[in-house]
């Protein structure tokens, strides 16, 4: 979802407060946001971040468990499910992704794990614009990770 129907660069910051009228698009943007935040957490707090800021040794890995037969589709119309159902997999496959992300040998900080336990390469298709958005401004990217984490920090400030 993060790479399928999100706006260019994954997040349209003008929509963060209001969202869109499409629940599906809002969900997709939230998935892109999770990926972007994961990469930013890896850079700031992770071991081996390479820029001197990752002193905390936290491992941050984004995960896409895949299209699973779960309660997530409760309430979806029967007509829609005619098209969606053939794309769904048994829920245990999502666990394979999570287990690989947590226990996979040689797991690297900041990666995105995709179904059913593979690391999504940063090279190649489909959404290089999102990968570029995650990079810091100093590294030639758009700095969305820093910007989005800043927005999140403002949102949770009243609760801290």
31 included as an active-site residue: yes
Instruction: Give backbone dihedrals phi and psi of 113, rounded to 5 degrees, phi first.
Output: -95, 130
pLDDT over 80 (residue 123): no
* 5 domain residue, yes or no: no
What string of DSSP letters covers 72-118?
GGTT--HHHHHHHGGG-B-THHHHHHHHHHHH-TT--TT-EEETTTE
pLDDT over 90 (residue 109): no
Express as a percent the part of the chain with pLDDT over 70: 92
27 included as an active-site residue: yes
* 31 domain residue, yes or no: yes
* 45 domain residue, yes or no: yes
Structural domain that includes position 114: 13-119+127-151
* 89 domain residue, yes or no: yes
Marked catalytic residue, from 25, 31, 85, 157: 31
* 100 domain residue, yes or no: yes
* 3 domain residue, yes or no: no
Alpha-carbon Rg of the chain, whole angstroms? 17
pLDDT over 90 (residue 68): yes
Say what the pTM is.
Answer: 0.83
Give tens-digit pLDDT for 13-59: 998 889 888 888 888 899 999 999 999 999 888 865 545 455 667 88
Marked catalytic residue, from 27, 69, 96, 135: 27
The helix (H) or strand (E) run that includes residue 62 is strand 62-63
What string of DSSP letters covers 117-138?
TEEPPSSSSS-HHHHHHHS-GG
d(CA 157, CA 146): 16
* 25 domain residue, yes or no: yes
* 76 domain residue, yes or no: yes
- What pLDDT, on a 0 to 100 scale, did the predictor assign at position 73? 86
Number of domains the chain contains: 1
- What pLDDT, on a 0 to 100 scale, did the predictor assign at position 52? 45
Average pLDDT over residues 83-97: 95
d(CA 147, CA 153): 10
Q: What is the mean pLDDT of the chain?
A: 88
């Amino acid at each position: 979802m993060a790479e399928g129907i999100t706006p260019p660069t994954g997040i349209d910051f003008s929509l963060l407060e209001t969202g869109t009228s499409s629940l599906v698009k809002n969900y997709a943007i939230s998935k892109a946001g999770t990926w972007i935040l994961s990469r930013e957490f890896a850079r700031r707090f992770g071991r081996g971040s390479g820029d001197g800021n990752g002193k905390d040794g936290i491992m941050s890995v984004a995960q896409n468990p895949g299209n699973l037969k779960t309660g997530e589709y409760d309430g979806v119309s029967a007509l829609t499910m005619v098209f969606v159902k053939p794309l769904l997999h048994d829920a245990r496959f999502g666990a394979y992704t999570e287990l690989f992300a947590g226990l996979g040998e040689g797991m690297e900080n900041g990666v995105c794990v995709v179904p059913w336990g593979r690391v999504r390469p940063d090279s190649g298709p489909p959404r290089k614009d999102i990968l570029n958005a995650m990079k810091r401004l100093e590294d030639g990217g758009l700095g969305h990770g820093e910007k989005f984490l800043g927005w999140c920090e403002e949102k949770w400030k009243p609760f801290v």
